[in-house]
Structure 1
Amino acid sequence: MNNSKTVVRVGIADMKIVKAPNIIKTSGLGSCVGVVLYDEVKMIAGLLHVMLPDSNLGRLDNVNVAKFADTGIHSLVELLVAEGINPLSLKSKIAGGAQMFQFGTNDTIRIGPRNVEAVKMMLDRLSIPIMAEDTGGSSGRTIQFDPKTGKLSIRTVNKGFKEI
């Protein structure tokens, strides 16, 4: 049996799902939020790289659902359900949402914190518990999730590595 792991990469405003032993990864999480939804029994996980909090901020033509917290999380749940996952068994881990630029309190500049708030609100609305998070701050992150162990590995610029 082949036990080699494939690393599936998720781009900005993108989402994908993997089954163990494969792992899933995204880079460039500044103000963006990485949302991992997973079923620890079936060892399947999805990763969404959220750029903006609300699809109402985008043009309505040709909308990329993965770009926004509200539409992206809903779509990722649908992908996982299509793989046979019971949505009630889903758990989540989130990372990112840094405040990359310090321009005072202008709400349009607070993209990172607004992304985190929108992600949490959508997960709450869908009754998906957040098991761990590493959000905020002012540094970019790269994250990698292993559906076999349920561990989210986070590498933060100038701060090193941790697992949650």
Structure 2
Amino acid sequence: MDELIRIGIAEYAISKQPVILRTAGLGSCVGVVIYDQERGLSSMAHVMLPDSAISRNREAEIGKFADTAILEIVKRLRANGALRLRAKIAGGAQMFQFKYEHESMRIGERNIASVKDMLQKTGIPLVAEDVGGTNGRTIEFHSKSGRLVIRTVNVGTLEI
């Protein structure tokens, strides 16, 4: 059985071993999986917010923001020999319905857009996604097979 690594909110993990990376409680947050299957390298980040510009302590909050989390993960994976990185993402739900939705309240949409933008800027193809909606998710990435298992509240299980 592969080791299970739990990633909390605003955290990230990188592994060189066969593992299962899991994060729960993805509401408006986005789970980002970046991996090189041929080299056995995998990572997951539980991104809370789109942009680190609002951070007072960027170094301590790398995993919290789409821009810093993705840049750090890509840098570390490439330093470990990654050549063919790919990404899968899930989450970014609109958890709260407001009568007058202000742009700042649309965190899920903004997180998805920022994650996709950072993947494009770093040259990493997005090979699968399950984003949006109004329900929370738990995701599990199985590094050996490259499967991302997504359990969505009130919807069921999907594999991408």
| Shared fold per TM-score greater than 0.5 | yes
What amino acid is aligned across from residue 123 of structure 1 in structure 2? L
Q: Quote the residue 2:96 is aligned against.
A: 101
Deviation track 1:79-134 (CA, whole Å, cap 9, x = no partner) reads 21232213xx1000000000001113301100000000000000011110000000
Choose which of 71, 75, 95 in structure 1 pairs with 2:72. 75
Q: CA deviation at 1:78?
A: 1.6
Aligned residues of 1:19 and 1:147 also touching (Cα < 8 A)? no
Compute the TM-score of the two structures, normalised by the length of structure 1.
Answer: 0.92
Q: TM-score, normalised to structure 2's length?
A: 0.94
Number of equivalent positions: 159
Displacement of 1:22 after TM fit? 1.5
Report the alpha carbon displacement of residue 59 of structure 1 after superposing the two structures with TM.
2.1
Residue 58 of structure 1: how far off its partner (Å): 2.1
Measure, in 2, the Cα distance between the counterparts of 1:61 and 1:36: 21
Q: 2:110 is matched with which residue? A: 114
Equivalents in 2 of 1:108, 1:21: separation in Å? 39
Off by >4 Å, runs of 4+ in structure 1: 60-63
2:42 is the counterpart of 1:49 = no
Indicate the larger mover: 133-142 or 51-60: 51-60
**Could you tell me which residue of structure 2 aligns to residue 92 of structure 1?**
87
Unpaired stretches in structure 2, ≥5 consecutive residues? none
Q: Which residue of 1 aligns with 2:20?
A: 23
- Residues 18 and 107 from structure 1, CA distance in 2 versus in 1: closer, same or farther, beyond 3 angstroms? same
Q: CA deviation at 1:62?
A: 5.5
Amino acid in the other structure paired with 1:147: S
Q: 1:82 to 1:29 in 2, by over 3 A?
A: same
What is the SS of the residue equivalent to 2:150?
A: strand
- Alpha-carbon distance in 1 for matches of 2:95, 2:40: 33
Measured after TM superposition, the shift of residue 44 of structure 1 is 1.6
